[in-house]
Structure 1
Amino acid sequence: MLRLSSLSIAILSALIFPSAVFADEGEMEVIEVKGRPQENFSIADPSTSIPQIDVSDLLDKLPGAAVNGNGPLTGIAQYRGLFGDRVNTQINGVSLAGAGPNAMDTPLSYASLILTEGLSMTRGIAPVSAGIDTLGGNIEVIESKATFDDTTGEVAAQYQTNGDRGNLGGKVNLGNKDQAVLLYVDKLKGNTDITTGNGDSINPTTYNKTMVGGEYRLNLSDNNINDESIAFGYQFLETTNAGTPALPMDIDFIRDHRFKVEGEHYINSWDLNWHMAYSDAKHGMDNYSLRDKPDTSSARYNNADSNSFDSEISIAKDAWLLGLDARLSQHNSLISDPTNASFYIDNFNDVQDDVYSIFAQWQQDIGQWNWQFGSRIKNYRTDSGTINSSMASSMTAVQALVDDFNNSDRSQVQTGLDLTINGQYQFNDAWTGIIGLARKQDAASYQERYLWIPMQSTGGLADGRTYVGQVDLDLETAYQLELGVDYDQDKWQISPRAFVNRIDNYIQGTPATDPNVIAVAAMMGDDHPMQFSNVDALLYGMDLTANYQLSRRWEIDLLGSYVRGERRDIDDNLYRIAPLKASLGLNFQQGNWIGRLEGVANAAQNKVSETQLEETTAGYALINISAGYDVENWTVRAGINNLFDTEYEDHLAGYNRVSSSDIAFGSRMPGMGLTTWVTGAYRF
């Protein structure tokens, strides 16, 4: 179970017995803010996008965003070159840890397709109110909630030919003026492996996933308005037999129970919002059930589990927004051999990864400017239990690593500070100028800190290298600048952004120098082991969205993103940076009929990390086409992805870790070939 420190108890007390916080009103005119201030959001709508089997598929529809795909259900969010834990990822305001040490159960994999109304991204520098760690931006899944005075429902289904993939989901909301209940179920299944443009099979890419849950909401208002309520939610997720070909193991099972209680209240002109959420997740993975294990390799099974707690309380009045946050998690991971009962490796043992935080944010109109200032203080507390391995008794190098780790100061306490300034200048009705400045900090992940023996349990890096951690890693410190404009007039909307992100103590793998690490890695077949280290980095680039209304029926849209990631301490590039990409769409709508012709192009990526032996990829272009019929109660859509069955390599898809496959072991993972699809939804 999670250990609650005195600080966490204090924060929990604040959540349950909040004290009012007031500030004197200044002389300047202020804008009235109810709840969180309105921010600059980009939202991907799943109902108008290519069918998804995982919500992370929507990331490609957001400017500057991309997805690191390690398997059909294992998409890791990337924003402007930063990915993983650096990107604050939430589902309806909640951020809970997964169980997998290699991020097989990513944050977005816990989102329900039938509930998802949109994938929202704070474009540019995320405000401090968006979450505890937003160095890499903020992404949130917007899911349906139980609503009062509403009795509605929806049944939705989709099918894709490539991989024989389908999903069926349903939700129903039953609400009167006092109470509301939302119930839902999602069932997703991929029956066969997908194929590439050349007809090669990508093995394994099957999956089986079920999600069920519900929410009960009670109206606390006595004047028949919906701004005061309390809600209780529960979700159960089970995933079985799911392939992750870019990782050394596949998913045997993931089982997770999630609980949430939240409330919104209006007290003496203050808006009070709070939530508490808890997750209990268990995860099994192996290297032999879905893939052929070479005779020269040993069978391995990894049992992992996590408990996670997330809480926040915020109060808002006029220009002010103040809040407290706590995020606590505990992780265990044990590797065994099903053919040898005496074999074991403590991958992670009783790892505690906690952070407590307080923030203040102020937003106000001053002349033609709208300014937002924010500050957040964070207290990181991490620790690990002692570890061991059956290999230590027969290998002096392993015993040395065990002793070094157990004798190290594993308990770490660090304090971080985030400062943000975001401004918008209204030139006229059509033009708005954008400026953002920030100083943000983030702590190492528990894998980067406590991975003691060379392994690929790296939070989903998928580079084929083995890594060890470093207990005393410094906080990453980023200095961020964004400049842009928005133009919205008549038939045109265009929004370019340019950004620079200078990061001190950026955490990345560097060649290991410990002879014991090198010796153990060589035994595992890796002659190039890595150690997580603090380096210096620079990321810069731009992204763009644009729309033009050709006529009443026809519209074109453009989405483009470019990011460059460099090491500042040596002449090298950062790992797994999305290449220059653009999509151009032609949209048609007449009456109930809709259609879209879309071209997607990715440039070659030659700026790769030599340190991590990253391979380059060639550019490619794909054509997608779709059409649909949408009326009040039902919708049907159909289409073809990769119309010309193009063979290509996705730079963010990692490397094949499966032997006896159509794809060469260690080579870049190719993309999906031609697939036809159909979706339908009925609303009542």
Structure 2
Amino acid sequence: MKLNLSEYSLLSALPVAALSTLFHCNAQADEIIEVINISGSVATPIMLVSPKDISPTVDIAQAVKALPGAAVNANGPLTGMVQYRGLSGDRVNSKIDGASLASAGPNAMDTPLSYPSISMTERVELYRGIAPVSSGIDTLGGSVNVIQTQVQFEQHSAELAGQYQTNGARTAISGKANLANDSHGILVFADDMHGNDNSETGNGNEISPTTYDKQVFGGQYRFNLADNTRQNESIGINYLHSETTDAGTPALPMDIDFIRTDRVKFDGIHTLNDWEINWHLAYSDARHGMDNFSERNLMPSMGARYNNADSTSYDAHFSISNEQWQWGVDSQLSEHDSVITNPENPMFLVDNFSGVSDDKYSAFVQWQQAFNAWHWELGARVKYYQSDAEQVSHSMAMIMPAVNLLMQRFNNADRAQSETGIDAVINGRYQVSPELSWIMGFAHKQSPASYQQRYLWVPMQSTGGLADGRTYVGDVSLALETAYQFELGADYHADKLTISPRVFYHQIDDYIQGIPSTDPAVIMAAAMMGDSNPMQFANVDAALMGIDINANYQLNDEFSFDMLANYISGERKDIDDNLYRIAPPKILLGINYQHNGWRARMEAVGFSAQNNVSSTQLEQTTSGYGLFNASVGYDADTWGLQAGVDNLFDTEYEDHLAGYNRVMGGDLMPGERMPGVGLQAWVTGEYRF
């Protein structure tokens, strides 16, 4: 990751002033070669990671590793899940061009950021600190938004790009073309990505399965409503088709047979006097097949399993804003089904999830204003949640009394749930001097249980990507998580030095996580499936605290140094234990060279041992390690070429956020920590015309 500061200034932007800090970034390992911007309101800056300088990745989520406080839970090469300050999964609001659409997989094989096209992704936005209420319905764990290329009126252009990675023989070819006059515009794109071999560790062990095939294509049409192309007023329609086949997820009990998804979005932006109106209506239809025998060895003691899952979802948004005020309404509606079968036994059938509906309706108001040296941003959001599920069945219920009891109990329960949540946020910035600003934030935020946490009725591992190897059951009556969030920090910018530290504390009442089940029926049903210690989702009390820092020193016009550091601690407050899957402490130091079109970078990344693990979830500790990466590139007006080596010394290490190996018969032992990728050389190229 390359954090090479080139500018730091307060910019004028509509509807509010913007704080903008620009870094040129060249990522480590499997991260993107990015450009990082920090923009947004002065009170709540947005950090931006842009992959315009292409480097090897097929998982856009990997880009957030370049940002302070952020990490990625990766269950396979395509399944990156954003973690921000210790929170991940549904707690992090993840959007594509402002729309949040449901995934099909009950185990998060198609994570939210697995859908964007590489060629179309302009940047990934992350609110640093406490996300404002305007950034999404549920933002307890922050807010991430992937911004894709939009039609440019009065422009004819095209872009072709390719990349190759030696470790895993990974290839990607992508392209896009923009054809537009002053009124109508069309944008088309396509990506073709392949992981042809399994990746290898520093010791030469195969990480199996980590092969994949993925294609993404689509297009956009926009109609200009303004009198000229300098005004931002238009309506448009976007279409995206994503198809993944034969992809490994070694930290999960199954691999991807296929994921086929179609997404359509209508949107518009309009001006009315001093007000700006934004709206969109988005729809997704996702189909997903997964199994435990196509990509991995099926042991004789194991039964073949195939899971067919699908989801449909809608996302609607309408907001109106001026320089001080923003008002808006949002809704997200989704339906989920998941059925497990045995291809060798046509009589076997289990309703994993049946007719699950998960609906959210919300309204918000946000206000911001400057008073002398102070800039305040205040917001409130009210949210109404509705969820329900149809009755379930299990083909083995008649011969397994415990399963039959759980099925009858679930079918006779009041599965329809409704709750009301309230978010309130105060963010402030105090300008001490032209060089120094103090940052502070307070929030009350609430978030509901996921549909897996609520409606998983028989012990299984369909947990939204926890990847801990445990079986779980849900609880229909789970309460809302309630977080009290606090942040304090500073932004200092001198002639050559920029440094931005933040400290934070989050107290979360009714935090949802697994605890050992004491239900005899659950324990008996799990034992029949080979698990003697099943878990049940429950409300507990938790706290997260930590510090993240990013800094840059510009030595001269060509050379700069940068630093990024994260520390996060997550604890249970009701018992003496730690939270599960918290990113270990990290520090990155880099030196950058840039002159005319040439650029080069060397960096060292150190991760501390993670010994503060969840004993409740039998989480294993991991040791500390260090990685070294180097790259060099040249960018001309119409083309660019870059090459590099990640993990230069072929270090063997365990990635604490990558889960545990679930594959038998390979180089890795079942249940051991997933290792990281060894030495990887790569090259990327781009041609623009």
1:656 aligns with 2:666: no
| Correspondence for 2:293 | 288
CA contact (8 A) 1:31 1:318 kept: no
- Tell me the distance in 2 between the aligned counterparts of 1:266 and 1:529: 55
Correspondence for 2:522: 517
Task: Report the equivalent of 2:370.
Answer: 365
The 2-side partners of 1:626 and 1:106 are apart by 29
- C-alpha distance in 1, partners of 2:314/2:13? 34
**1:43-442 paired onto structure 2 within 5 Å:** 43-48=48-53, 50-442=55-447
Quick check: 1:658–1:665 contact (8 Å CA) kept in 2? yes
Query: What secondary structure does 2:582 align onto?
Result: coil
> Hey, what's the Cα distance between the residues in 1 that align with 2:320 and 2:377?
16
Contact 1:147 1:217 in 2 (8 A): no
Q: Relative to 1, partners in 2 of residues 1:260 and 1:34: Cα closer, same or farther, differing over 3 Å?
A: farther
Q: Aligned equivalents of 2:634 and 2:227: distance in 1?
A: 42
Choose which of 428, 448, 457 in structure 2 pairs with 1:452. Answer: 457
In structure 2, how many angstroms separate the alpha carbons of the residues matched to 1:317 and 1:295?
65
Q: Which residue of 1 is the match for residue 494 of structure 2? A: 489
State the percentage of identical aligned residues. Answer: 56
Structure 2 Cα separation of the partners of residues 266 and 564 of structure 1: 45
Offset, 1:32: 6.8
Cα contact 2:598–2:633 (8 A) shared by 1: yes
What amino acid is aligned across from residue 335 of structure 2 in structure 1? Answer: Q
| Equivalent AA in structure 1 for residue 109 of structure 2 | M
Q: Match of 1:641?
A: 646
Q: Matched residues in 1 for 2:562 and 2:116: separation?
A: 27
Which deviates more from structure 2 when the two are superposed, residues 50-59 or residues 167-176?
A: 50-59
Match of 1:466 in 2: 471
Distance across 2 between alignment mates of 1:374 and 1:131: 12
State the Cα deviation string for residues 335-389 of structure 1 (Å, max 9, x = none): 0000000101000000000000000000000110010000000000000000010
Match of 2:656, SS? coil
Alpha carbons of 1:267 and 1:572: their partners in 2 closer, same or farther (altered >3 Å)? same
Once the two structures are TM-superposed, the CA of residue 176 in structure 1 deviates from its matched residue by 1.2
Please give the alpha-carbon distance, in whole angstroms, between the structure 2 residues aligned to 1:160 and 1:654.
23
Aligned positions of 1:513-592 closer than 5 A: 513-592=518-597
- Residue 92 of structure 1, CA deviation: 1.0
Pick which of 38-47 and 619-628 moved more: 38-47
Give 1:51 shift: 2.2
Q: Which residue pairs with 1:678 in the alignment?
A: 683
Contact residue 402 and residue 524 of structure 2 kept, 8 A? yes
Q: 2:134 touches 2:364 (CA, 8 Å); kept in 1?
A: yes
SS of equivalent residue, structure 1 residue 67: strand
Secondary structure of the equivalent of 1:331? strand
Q: Supply the distance in 1 between the matched residues of 2:151 and 2:14 (Cα, whole angstroms).
A: 27
SS in 2 for 1:401: helix
**8 Å CA contact retained: 2:55, 2:163:** no
CA distance in 2, matches of 1:495, 1:323: 31
C-alpha deviation, 1:40, in angstroms:
0.3
State the 1:679 CA deviation: 0.2
| Contact 1:99-1:305 at 8 Å conserved across structures | yes
What is the Cα deviation at residue 34 of structure 1?
Answer: 6.5
User: Quick one: distance in 2 between partners of 1:99 and 1:289?
Assistant: 20
1:612-635 superposed Cα distances (whole Å, 9 cap, x missing partner): 000000000000100001111111
Q: Is the CA contact 1:206–1:242 (under 8 Å) kept in the aligned structure 2?
A: yes
C-alpha displacement of 1:221 = 1.3
Aligned-pair distance for 1:541?
A: 0.2
Amino acid at match of 1:444: A
- Asked if the contact 1:346–1:388 (Cα under 8 Å) also holds between the matched residues in 2, the reply is yes
State the Cα distance separating 1:268 from its structure 2 match. Answer: 3.1
- Rounded Cα–Cα distance in structure 2 between residues aligned with 1:652 and 1:491: 35
Q: Distance in 1 between matches of 2:67 and 2:635?
A: 24
Counterpart Cα distance in 2 of 1:40 and 1:568: 31
Report the RMSD for the aligned CA atoms in angstroms.
1.3
TM-score by length of 1: 0.95
Query: Are 1:33 and 2:15 counterparts?
Result: yes
* Aligned counterparts of 1:520 and 1:632: Cα–Cα separation in 2: 64
CA offsets per residue over residues 656-675 of structure 1, 9 Å max, x none? Answer: 00000101000100000001
Aligned 8 A contact 2:55 2:683 in 1: no
> What is aligned with 2:28?
none
**In 1, Cα distance between equivalents of 2:296 and 2:356:** 30
Question: Is the CA contact 1:219–1:226 (under 8 Å) kept in the aligned structure 2?
Answer: no
Whether the aligned pair in 2 keeps the contact of 1:257 and 1:279 (CA below 8 Å) is yes
* Distance of 1:660 and 1:503 partners within structure 2: 41
Secondary structure in 2 aligned to 1:56?
Answer: helix
Tell me, in whole angstroms, the C-alpha distance in 1 between the residues paired with 2:181 and 2:53: 30
Unmatched tracts of structure 2, length 5 or more:
1-11, 18-39
2:484 corresponds to which of 455, 479, 490:
479
Shift of 1:320: 0.3
